[in-house]
Structure formats: C-alpha cells, structure tokens
Amino acid sequence: MTVGIVGLGYVGLPLAVAFARAGERVIALDVDGQKVAAVGAGESYIEDVSSEELRGVLGQIRATSRYADLAQAQSIIVCVPTPLTANREPDLGPLTSSARALAQVLQPGQLVVLESTTYPGTTRERLVPLLEESGLRVGESLNVAFSPERVDPGRTDYTLQNTPKVIGGMTDECAERARELYSRVCDKLVLVGTPEAAELTKLLENIFRSVNIALVNELAMLAERMGIDIWEVVDAASTKPYGFMRFEPGPGMGGHCLPVDPFYLTWRAREFHMSTEFIELAGKINQQMPVHCVERIERALNDALKPVRGSKILILGASYKGGVGDIRESPALRIMELLAERGAVLSYHDEFVPALPELGLEHVPLEPAASEADAVVLVTAHPGIDYRALATQSALFVDLRGVTRGVDVANLVRL
C-alpha cells in the first residue's frame, strides 16, 4: 500500500515513520521545503522521531512538496495545522488550501482521512465539498473519514500503536477503509457513527484536561492564601482509588492543543446559540496563571528585600512541557515577557530551546547562572537536573511545578 501524509509536523512525521516501519510505502508531503529536505536527508526535527529511526525507514519514504505525487497513494492522511486567528476564531486556511490542492490530484477509489483537530462539522461541511471539486463523489468514488490524533509528545508508554484510535467515516464503507488503513499501525480501533462524533471526541478529551487543570490551578491560588500546600493535597487526593483523577497545578497551559482546540468548539457552539461556559472559564483561569506566577516571584523577591527591576532571574525550562522543545503557547514565554517588562535581568536554561530571538535571549549553561541569580524559577521541569539540590543551593528558588515537594528550606517558594 502507498500512504500519503500531508503535513510533516508533530503529528505527520511520526505517522509517516509508523507506516514506513509497518512496511508501507509513504509519500510524505509538506509545503515547507526545509522540512521536505530534512526528511529526504533523514534528519528528524521532531523529538519523538530520532534521525536514526527516520534513516532506518528512508527507503520507504518519499518526501515531496508536489501534491501531484499523491496520485499514486491509496490513502491520504491530512495532518495540517488548525490554529486560531488573531481574533481567536478557527483558522482553516491550511486545511482548505490543502483540500483544494488535493482536489486537483485525487484519483477514484482513494481514501482521505483528516487528523487535524477541529470543530464538529468540518469534515462534512468544509473538507468534503472542496474534495468533491475533483468531480469525485464521497460514497461513490471517494472515501473520507475523520480520525483524531492523540499523540502526547515526549510520551513513551502510550504510542500510536497502543493508543486506541477513534474513526468516524462519512459512510460505513469510508469507516471500514479507514479501519483497514490504521489497523496496520494501531492495535485498537474505535469506530463511531459519524465524522462529527469523532471530531467532538477529540475536543472532549482536550476540554476535559483544560477544565481539570483550571480547577486545580484555582485551588492552588486559594490554597496559597490559606497557607495549605496544594501539592500535599493533590498527592493525598490521588490516593483515592476511584472517582478522582490527578491533575497538577502549574504556570499555565501551553502547546498547540489545550490553549487552542477548545476555542474551536466555543466558536462552533455560537452557531447553535450556546455559550460554552466551562471552556471560557477554564481558558480564563489558565491564562491568568503566568500573571499569578509573576506576582509570586515578585513577592518572593520582595521578601528578600529585592525589587524585580535589576534582579537577576534565571528561568529553568522555556518549552511548554518537560522533555520537549516545543515553545508554542508556552507559559514560560509569558512569564519572561512580564518579568522583562518589570525590568528583571533575565536568562534562561533549556537545552531543548537554543534561543528565544523575540526575547533576545539564548540558552545559558546552568552554572554559573544559577549561583549568580537572585532568583531561580523552575517553569518547566526537563529531566536530568537535580532540582531539589538546586533549590537548597540557590539564593531564592521558585518552584512552579512542585518537584521540590517535601523539601522545606527558607529560600524555597512553591506554587
């Protein structure tokens, strides 16, 4: 089988490698010439795929930027970005331009699966009409399905293979074709009746996380006022064997999914005269967290008789989560911006993020920056650093991730 993958980012590249490893031929397409060149040269730019792994299957992968090459594929999986516009409305630009380009090259009998996260109705109302400009008809000469990606970057226990994959086809035959396709790389497939059900499933999963993170963040702010250690509370509540699921407070939500995807549903809900209150409230609380964290840092410095202006502050971790270099929507950036506005002398340590040009900063080695800093602020806990030791050695250590819980020293402040 030949599988076409459109969009070689965090979702598309691992998928291309998975199909290639399963012995399929892969046509890997991106409009970004640098990515096409990198894939062609066996150089991975995604942490979840090592260059060795990519090179091991390069014989199976043909990287291209020409949509015409997809005519040879039996199945085409679309993994293009679905961001928000400046007004926080869905930006389906990449999706529609990809669908228009596909319509020029589609062949009878092909299957097109959309994996990009989006609002319910996108596949049927936006993707299908554009694909049908090819002259092919869904259910007759073309199959179309939606199957959300569930990848959690940096995670190794749950992979594409052992994470059940949800599929919603435009027709039963479409769903069956998609099931057959994904059974080559996934152990368990979950078929739902429509693409809309599959689209909403993905949003439910993301909204569930966003709302629960907001809940525990709100409690963290309250616990701080009450003088209660929120981490002790979360640890204790997590001992309940049923009816509770652990979520951790933190400096705010980052990454491409949680700060963005729920607003696709908010936007769509307006057409149905509904306002999605949980989503809005969770967004509001989570967006407030970097501001709260900066106030916490400011107060901690104040207690040490130091103003933020002129203080040397070392930020640990600029990406949005440990073990990855993705800085999209990272709360660390917002925290650094706010501290810079207040006149802090900033530096950051993050081996996954070599430079932050917009802030005019480059990654610095941990030492001597940590010993020279007036405050060391742990925003994102990458593996390989002894934070607990660092917390006791620093002039002031602000832990926004709870990794120092149990440590009780005067210079340590925890969210």
Binding site for ligand NAD (CB under 6 A): 6-12, 29-32, 35, 79-82, 94, 97-98, 115-117, 149, 151, 153, 256-257, 261
Answer whether 101's CB lies under 8 Å from 68's CB.
Answer: no
Find the shortest distance in angstroms from Cβ 152 to ligand NAD. 7
C-beta closer to ligand NAD: residue 29 or 300: 29
Residue 378, phi then psi, degrees to nearest 5? -85, 110
- Which residue, among 396, 409, 402, has the nearest Cα to 229 in the 3D structure? 402
* HSE, side-chain direction, 13 A CA sphere, residue 78: 30
Find the shortest distance in angstroms from Cβ 81 to ligand NAD. 4
Token couple for 257: 């999914």
Find the shortest distance in angstroms from Cβ 332 to ligand NAD. 18
Answer whether 287's CB lies under 8 Å from 218's CB.
Answer: no
| Secondary structure percentages of the chain, helix, strand, coil, to 5 | 40, 15, 45
Answer whether 316's CB lies under 8 Å from 399's CB.
Answer: no
Residue 326, phi then psi, degrees to nearest 5? -75, 120
Find the shortest distance in angstroms from Cβ 347 to ligand NAD. 28
C-beta closer to ligand NAD: residue 53 or 235: 53
Catalytic, out of 79, 174, 186, 257? 257
C-beta closer to ligand NAD: residue 7 or 290: 7
Task: Please tell me whether residue 28 adopts helix, strand or coil conformation.
Answer: strand
C-beta closer to ligand NAD: residue 12 or 290: 12
C-beta closer to ligand NAD: residue 79 or 294: 79
- Which residue, among 233, 337, 335, 350, has the nearest Cα to 293 in the 3D structure? 335
H/E stretch holding 134 reads none
Instruction: Let me know if 91 is exposed, middle or buried by CB neighbors in 10 A (0-12, 13-18, 19+).
Output: middle
C-beta closer to ligand NAD: residue 150 or 184: 150
What is the C-alpha separation between 338 and 332, in angstroms, rounded? 10
What is the C-alpha separation between 158 and 186, in angstroms, rounded? 11
DSSP assignment letter at 132: G
Active site residue 79: no
Find the shortest distance in angstroms from Cβ 17 to ligand NAD. 13
What is the C-alpha separation between 96 and 73, in angstroms, rounded? 20
Find the shortest distance in angstroms from Cβ 302 to ligand NAD. 38
Residue 69 vs residues 23, 30, 119, 141, 148: alpha-carbon distances, Å: 19, 12, 29, 19, 24
Name the residue number minimizing CB distance to ligand NAD. 9
C-beta closer to ligand NAD: residue 30 or 196: 30
Find the shortest distance in angstroms from Cβ 67 to ligand NAD. 8
Active site residues: 257
